[in-house]
Structure 1
Amino acid sequence: MILVYLLAAVLITACLLWAYFTAQRLNRLHIRTDSARQALQAALDRRAVLVGALLPNAGEASRRAEMIPLEYSRFLQRARAEREISELILQHGTALPDSIIDAATRVELAHRFYNEAVSDTRNLRTRIAVRSLRLGGTAPLPEYFELLDTDLLD
């Protein structure tokens, strides 16, 4: 009988430890996703500033893009504003300043890092055990940010 109690205690302890470490990992993934989102916003803002300063007729579009924060509720608006900036870059032709090309490359990298962080977080958050134990807490499920022009300067 004591062996059954001991086995039950070990099993319960193992489940509690798994839940604790999974919640910690999920917390770190959310922090990583938030950091990647902030880095993506900084890269998008930097590109918008450079495009507004260096390309004619792009000032208004870059200001509009900068005014839209990169929040989950405004992803579509920001993507549309970024698309407008990309179209202005394409209209300029192939003789782009190096700083704009560098900024566009940084946007692509930040976009890729952000979507990878979202993918990792969503993969863990959508597991049945994690959802049923509510290990994600009250944090919103992160969303992918789709840039409409990822192959802009190829």
Structure 2
Amino acid sequence: MPGMWWMVTAALIVALVAAYLIWTAGRVERLHIRAESAERALEAHLVRRAAAAAVLDEERYGVELHAAALIALDAAPQEREAAENDLTRQLRGADLDPRDPAVRTVVAASRRLTLARQVHTDLVRDALTARRRRLVRLLRMDRGYERPRYFDVDDPGLHLPGELAGS
């Protein structure tokens, strides 16, 4: 009988370790999938904001703003961050009329972009944290997934004159 308890205990330990490894591998997979989804959503919001900015009247808001919007729409992946930062600077520097429906569309797109960027940043941070865990590195649980990357841009949020920054 004493030998049987050892076998039951050993089997229980093996089952617990296996369950933990399966759970950890599943978590790493879920975090990477969510980070990839957040990246696609962020890209969609970037396109929406640039498209909305491209519709703004060139004569009223400046050729530079219109050009920055077109550049952001056509930017290659390695040039995307710089193009989006330039568009953000142009939007902030423009004297936007809050009564213009096109301006309200750009502001709304910018606010949604701010949220999408925050979600993306949080999920990339979580995926990178999971990748740094000793067990994940040792067993190479992340080998099937591309390393997530932060999208390093200025805060794209816009506030029209008369609005509070926190609203």
Larger Rg: 2
By the TM > 0.5 criterion, same fold?
Answer: yes
What is the total number of aligned residue pairs between the two structures?
149
Does residue 128 (structure 1) correspond to residue 155 (structure 2)? The answer is no
Q: Note the C-alpha offset of 1:149.
A: 3.3
Cα offsets for 1:92-142 (capped at 9, x unmatched): 124251111101101100000100111121222211112111122321221
* 3-state secondary structure, aligned to 2:153: coil
Q: How does 1:98-113 map to 2 (within 5 A)?
A: 98-113=104-119
* 3-state secondary structure, aligned to 2:19: helix
Distance 1:14 1:4, change over 3 A: same
Q: TM-score, normalised by structure 1?
A: 0.86
Q: How does 1:41-80 map to 2 (within 5 A)?
A: 41-56=43-58, 57=63, 58-68=65-75, 74=78, 77-80=79-82
Distance 1:92 1:148, change over 3 A: same
CA distance in 2, matches of 1:22, 1:102: 38
List runs of 5+ in structure 2 lacking aligned partners: 160-164
List runs of 5+ in structure 1 lacking aligned partners: none
Instruction: Please say if residues 108 and 150 of structure 1, whose CA atoms lie closer than 8 Å, have aligned partners that are also in contact.
Output: yes
* 3-state secondary structure, aligned to 2:55: helix
Q: Note the C-alpha offset of 1:150.
A: 4.1
Q: Note the C-alpha offset of 1:7.
A: 1.6
Q: TM-score, normalised by structure 2?
A: 0.80
CA distance in 1, matches of 2:115, 2:93: 23
Output the aligned Cα RMSD: 1.9
Q: How does 1:17-32 map to 2 (within 5 A)?
A: 17-32=19-34
CA distance in 1, matches of 2:26, 2:75: 32
Alignment partner of 1:118 out of 119, 124, 127: 124
Which runs of 4 or more aligned residues in structure 1 lie more than 3 Å from their structure 2 counterparts after TM superposition?
149-154
Instruction: Please say if residues 79 and 148 of structure 1, whose CA atoms lie closer than 8 Å, have aligned partners that are also in contact.
Output: no
